[in-house]
């Protein structure tokens, strides 16, 4: 949202006229018609996709898809079990505390068994993340030295 519209939407502005707002601090008066006709409000910033980013996404996409395919049955089973536990706890409130303790125990056991795979994912991904960060830093430094006015 543009700063002019933020100022109009903030609610702490004082109404000067029919559709005039006095913006606090700078004495600038803005009409609603002027705000709607201002071209800078209607601009949508365009995100640039570089070749490096496209190739990176191309290489990462199969691994991301594989992770979702592997995790989906496990996550679905967990949510179904959680839903069944919650429904049974509502039906029989006398043992609700015991079921919540059992759910917490099952969750902790699942996290215990999932932890090595999560760590393996980090070990696999972090060199690539570090390489990307170093390359990005080098490209920014090169851009600042090659084009100092941009």
Residues 74, 133 within the same domain: yes
15 DSSP assignment:
E
What is the value of pTM for the model shown? Answer: 0.38
**pLDDT tens by residue, 80-132:** 988 988 888 888 877 777 878 888 898 899 899 989 989 998 998 999 999 99
- β strands within the chain, DSSP E: 14-15, 20-22, 29-31
What integer pLDDT is reported at residue 3 of this predicted model?
47
Judge if 66 and 106 occupy the same domain: yes
Query: Both 32 and 91 in a single domain?
Result: no
Residue 43 in any domain: the answer is no
- Asked if 100 contacts 92 with a C-beta cutoff of 8 angstroms, the reply is no
Q: Does residue 42 fall inside a structural domain? A: no
């Amino acid at each position: 949202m543009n700063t002019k519209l933020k100022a109009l939407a903030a609610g702490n502005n004082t109404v000067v006229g029919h559709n005039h707002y006095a913006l606090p601090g700078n004495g600038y008066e803005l009409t609603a018609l002027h705000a709607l006709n201002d071209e800078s409000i209607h601009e949508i910033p365009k995100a640039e996709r570089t070749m490096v980013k496209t190739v990176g996404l191309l290489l990462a996409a199969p691994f991301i898809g594989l992770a979702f395919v592997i995790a989906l049955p496990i996550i679905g089973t967990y949510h179904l079990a959680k839903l069944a536990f919650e429904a049974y706890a509502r039906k029989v409130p006398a043992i609700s505390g015991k079921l919540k303790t059992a759910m917490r125990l099952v969750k902790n056991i699942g996290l215990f068994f999932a932890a090595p795979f999560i760590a393996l994912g980090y070990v696999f991904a972090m060199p690539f993340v570090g390489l990307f960060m170093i390359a990005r830093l080098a490209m920014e430094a090169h851009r600042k030295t090659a084009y100092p006015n941009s």
